[in-house]
Structure 1
Amino acid sequence: MKENKKAVRLKLYQNMVNYKKPTSFQLKETYPLPPYSTVIGMVHGLCNYDEYKEMEISIQGKYNSKVNDLYTRYEFKNGMKFDATRHQLKAGEFGISRGISTIELLVDVKLLIHIIPKDQSLVEEIEQAFIYPREYPSLGRREDLAVIEEVKVVDIFEEELEEDIELDRDYTAYIPLSMIRDESIIVEDIEEVKGSGTRYKITKNYNKSENYGTATSPKIFREWNKIDVLYSSRITAIQSETVMRDIDNNIVFNA
């Protein structure tokens, strides 16, 4: 056994939710599981942190189906003055267009999340923030409420497995590619496609903001740290390989 830490394990349920892909516009597409940054944001919000607390996150879960719905969309251009022939709303002297667009929603989402703060003294504080939340927690959009089904502090171990551990066949996970490359985690091939799944670069946190404009006309962008992951199901942690697991034998895909 190489490592023993504590994590806050959450079981969450969401009725309908969108974890927006940042590059989708006309159809607001969703990731199949919440990004690391979205979970970290929820933790920081409930704990009322005003500075970043470093933590590792493991995300796995499932959803029942996917539907499209309509939502109200607001558009404006920086500095564009109000024009009654094209704008529906007026904000001061500026104009805002209001219309409808389409959003993709996951239905009946169940999540199993491990939160592993680098500062282990924060574990109890995070646990209490979910047992007694200061507001109703949401994950995704502000209106995507999350029902907390379980909050539990668990020991997690990095150790060599004595036997294979299989993820529940209904569940999927974000698997850091490092785990796939060192073959501690394998994904069952589907129709002879090796390592079947979808590659994503999932945002986690950002350390700084960069100005890509000028001093007089700044254009500030956040420089995000992104994790290369494989999103897949049919996942097995292999005997004799070293992986992270919790006390209930759940695989921990920490990133």
Structure 2
Amino acid sequence: MKAIKVRLWQDLVNYKKPTSFQLKETYPLPPYSTVIGMVHNLCQYQTYHAMKISIQGKNFSKVNDLYTRYEFKNGMTYDSKRHQLKVGDYGVGKGISTTELLVDVKLTLHIIPEDQSIVDEIYNAFLHPWEYPSLGRREDIAIIDKVKVVEVEEQILSKDIRMRKDYGAYIPKDWVENNYILFKNRQQGISDLGTRFQLTKNYELVNYGTKKNPKVFRKWNKKEVYYATYLSAPRKSRVYIDNDEKKDIVFMV
């Protein structure tokens, strides 16, 4: 199968965890839904195009930064002693809060569309983007270092393969359970040293109300993965490999 392989760099970025509020925590790598959203925006798709994604990368460090935070409650009228802003008859609180930022992020993405006929379309969208690419927040600009079309095939390894130094990846749960991927300190008695996440990938709109009074919400399809660094794939593992010069493992989900 064909994939679009993208290498990109970001200066300061937040891939926000949806359950963090007082401190906007960040994932170590962008979730699948974030990457899929960037692809759909660059291609200007109006409907969902199914695709598999592999995400790996690294960052230099993490810092905290301040941002302006606005708070309001539906139907709460303006109170000069409580609110800093008045919008119509309603009150809005304005203050500061903290966000985590990853520094000097380098990512390697593999994008494998289910419809292989749109591979060139996605490739050209990254090669000649119609607007500046962003990944994470709207202001988190992504600098595309390299984009190319590669072949991805399933292989049974004849020798051990190690990932690039300091690079981490989202690894499908079944790869870990089947020992296709090993962690650095497995021999010390701790088998799974990665962090487990349930990451959003795509969603469907579900009406939890009635036809007369619809209440439509997004029902997310989540994927359980491990995040870890210093990874290796042992001999006889069944993994996906691209045909690029460095022959990266493709952790497609």
TM class by shorter chain equals: over 0.9
Task: Choose which of 237, 243, 247 in structure 1 pairs with 2:239.
Answer: 243
What residue number does 1:102 align with? 98
What residue number does 2:14 align with? 18
Distance 1:77 1:100, change over 3 A: same
What residue number does 1:54 align with? 50
Mapped pair 1:252 → 2:247: no
SS of residue matched to 1:103: strand
Query: Retained in 1: the 8 A contact 2:17–2:24?
Result: yes
Query: Retained in 2: the 8 A contact 1:19–1:35?
Result: yes
The superposition leaves residues 84-135 of structure 1 with CA deviations (integer Å, 9 ceiling, x where unpaired) of: 2222222232222111000000000000000000000111000111111011
SS of residue matched to 2:16: coil
Structural RMSD (CA)? 1.6
Q: Which amino acid aligns with 1:202?
A: L
- Alignment size in residue pairs: 250
Per-residue deviation at 1:162? 1.6
Unmatched 5+ residue regions in structure 1?
Answer: none
Distance 1:193 1:148, change over 3 A: same
Unmatched 5+ residue regions in structure 2?
Answer: none
What residue number does 2:201 align with? 204
After TM superposition, the structure 1 stretch with the greater mean CA deviation from structure 2, 9-18 or 220-229, is: 220-229
Query: Retained in 1: the 8 A contact 2:207–2:214?
Result: no
Task: Choose which of 173, 176, 189 in structure 2 pairs with 1:177.
Answer: 173
After TM superposition, the structure 1 stretch with the greater mean CA deviation from structure 2, 79-88 or 216-225, is: 216-225
Tell me the TM-score normalized by structure 2.
0.94
Query: Retained in 2: the 8 A contact 1:188–1:195?
Result: no
Task: Choose which of 133, 138, 159 in structure 2 pairs with 1:137.
Answer: 133
The superposition leaves residues 49-96 of structure 1 with CA deviations (integer Å, 9 ceiling, x where unpaired) of: 011100000000000000001001111111222222222222232222
Distance 1:69 1:116, change over 3 A: same
Q: Percent identity?
A: 58
Structure 2: how far apart are the matches of 1:153 and 1:53? 18
Tell me the TM-score normalized by structure 1.
0.93
Structure 2: how far apart are the matches of 1:177 and 1:40? 20
Q: How does 1:229-240 map to 2 (within 5 A)?
A: 229-240=225-236
SS of residue matched to 2:182: strand
Distance 1:224 1:6, change over 3 A: same
Query: Retained in 2: the 8 A contact 1:188–1:194?
Result: no
The superposition leaves residues 161-188 of structure 1 with CA deviations (integer Å, 9 ceiling, x where unpaired) of: 1212110121000001011111112222
